[in-house]
A and B are shown apart, each in its own frame.
Chain A
Amino acid sequence: SQQGEEDPQALSIQEGENATMNCSYKTSINNLQWYRQNSGRGLVHLILIRSNEREKHSGRLRVTLDTSKKSSSLLITASRAADTASYFCATAPGGATNKLIFGTGTLLAVQP
């Protein structure tokens, strides 16, 4: 069963705008990760945030984590047409496991 749910399911913006995607999950976690999937391709790891971290940056990406609300957000600044893809959050459940449970994904379309 899926642990996370992304919101919105689909997002369409203009190039240069910022895109924000949200993820909610249900159980305690060790870390939360964001992945990108281009159409017809495999998933690509973007960023990992640990349960004791609140914010992390990587280039144009900013991820926040609120464990009290069991939620995370991914912000892509100054979006480009090449950012068009599906974005998934994935949670590593607490305990001695390294499996990831993926959310439902947000389909981002960046219009040139």
Chain B
Amino acid sequence: DAGVIQSPRHEVTEMGQEVTLRCKPISGHNSLFWYRQTMMRGLELLIYFNNNVPIDDSGMPEDRFSAKMPNASFSTLKIQPSEPRDSAVYFCASSSASAPKGYTFGSGTRLTVV
């Protein structure tokens, strides 16, 4: 298995632009998580899905952030419009909800909003 695949690895965009981050979880994992990591706030859970259904989006900072999981093998995190304070590393992770053995993380997307 190639692991959790995130794209792009790096994204530089101008303030006000729309940004879409993508994630492909491990096949067979039915839970998917989006985290944001910054020096100031550490690792924050933004949203997670079980069986493609959003379960908890209480960590999504504002309405500018939205996430979808149209099928078991793909999820997107969208920021529209982007702001400089959104600059961070965004991680996607997946796991099996029925047999907790830890998460598998992707390599992350480093987002810079200028």
Whether the pair A100, B103 counts as a contact (CB closer than 8 A) is yes
By beta carbon, the residue of chain B nearest A101 is B45
Contact between chains at A44 and B105 (CB < 8 Å): yes
Q: List the A residue with the shortest CB-CB distance to B3.
A: A42
For the complex, what is the distance from the CA of A43 to the CA of B108, rounded to whole Å?
9
Given A33-B102, A45-B101, A48-B101, CB of A99 within 8 Å of CB of B107: no
The reply to whether A105 and B95 contact each other, CB–CB distance below 8 Å, is no
CA distance A31 to B103 in the complex (A): 13
Q: Are B106 and A45 in contact (CB under 8 A)?
A: no
Asked if A52 is an interface residue, CB under 8 A from chain B, the answer is no
Q: Does B42 contact A (CB under 8 A)?
A: yes
The reply to whether A98 and B45 form a contact with Cβ atoms under 8 Å apart is no
Q: Are B108 and A42 in contact (CB under 8 A)?
A: yes
**Of residues 16 to 70 in A, which have CB atoms within 8 Å of B's CB atoms?**
30-31, 33, 35, 41-45, 48
Q: Give B104's nearest chain A residue, CB to CB.
A: A45
Task: Report the Cα distance A72→B24, complex, angstroms.
Answer: 32
Q: Which A residues are closer than 8 A to B by beta carbons?
A: 2, 30-31, 33, 35, 41-45, 48, 88, 92, 97-105
Q: Is the interface of B mostly helix, strand, loop or mixed?
A: strand
Q: How far is the CB of A33 from chain B (nearest CB, A)?
A: 5
Bound complex: CA A29 to CA B6 (Å): 29
Smallest distance from the beta carbon of B40 to chain A beta carbons, Å? 11
**Contact across chains for A102 and B42 when beta carbons are under 8 A apart:** yes
Q: Which of A2, A42, A103, A104 contacts B106 (CB 8 A)?
A: A42
Q: What are 25 A-to-B residue pairs whose CB atoms are below 8 Å?
A: A2-B43, A31-B100, A33-B102, A33-B103, A35-B102, A41-B107, A42-B93, A42-B105, A42-B107, A43-B43, A43-B91, A43-B93, A44-B105, A45-B102, A48-B100, A48-B101, A88-B43, A92-B100, A97-B55, A97-B56, A98-B31, A98-B50, A98-B97, A99-B45, A104-B42
Separation of A106 and B101 alpha carbons in the complex (Å): 22
A-B pairs with lowest CB-CB distance, top 5: A45-B102, A42-B105, A102-B43, A43-B105, A98-B97
